[in-house]
Amino acid sequence: MCVKMDRLEKIRMEVDALLKQLHQESDRKFAYLHLYGVSQFATMLALIRKADAQLCAVAAMLHDISMYACNSGTHNHAEKSAAFTKDLLQKSQLFSNEEIREIVHAIKVHSNKACKEDGEMAEILKDADVLAHYLYNPNIPMSDKDRVRLYYVLETFTQAREETKYE
């Protein structure tokens, strides 16, 4: 059976190619775990919240890409990843200008976890990022703002379960 490759898979191939260039195996491992983990959590949250799961997954795959592809570190990584993503998505010719704008915006603001008014995709990305950090190792202390966001993300699952209970 031949399946046509969708946009998300094409972006994953781009990300994989960039991550393969990392020299340290431990850096590659963490990059794969984090980017794919955040992408999967973003997909799940988008499905629960009835948002565009594919676009949320793409934003999540690219949200920290500058840290890995450009070795830019964490300082201003959201802005750097947003710029990198804009260029990558424009070159791919797979996304409309509006989709690129929305993805880039979500990435640009994803580090501001205290704000809850950055738009649906941005909030899903922030929530998925916090969830991925937490589940990577629940023993690593979280900031107060991340802990508050995590509380509400976990509440989302309870609400979703309640909505799907069988009568």
> Which residue type does 82 have?
A
pLDDT tens-digit map of 60-117:
999 999 998 877 666 688 999 999 999 999 999 999 999 999 999 999 999 999 889 9
- Domain membership of residue 76 as a residue range: 7-163
* Domains of the chain: total: 1
Does any domain span residue 1?
A: no
Does any domain span residue 86?
A: yes
Does any domain span residue 2?
A: no
Give me the percent of the chain exceeding a pLDDT of 70. Answer: 92
- DSSP character for 111? T
Q: How far apart are CA 145 and CA 113, in angstroms?
A: 6
pLDDT tens-digit map of 43-64:
999 999 999 999 999 999 999 9
Q: Give me the pLDDT at residue 167, please.
A: 47
- DSSP character for 93? T
Does any domain span residue 32?
A: yes
Closest CA to 62 of 115, 19, 123, 5: 19
CATH number where 125 lies: 1.10.3210.10
pTM metric for this prediction = 0.90
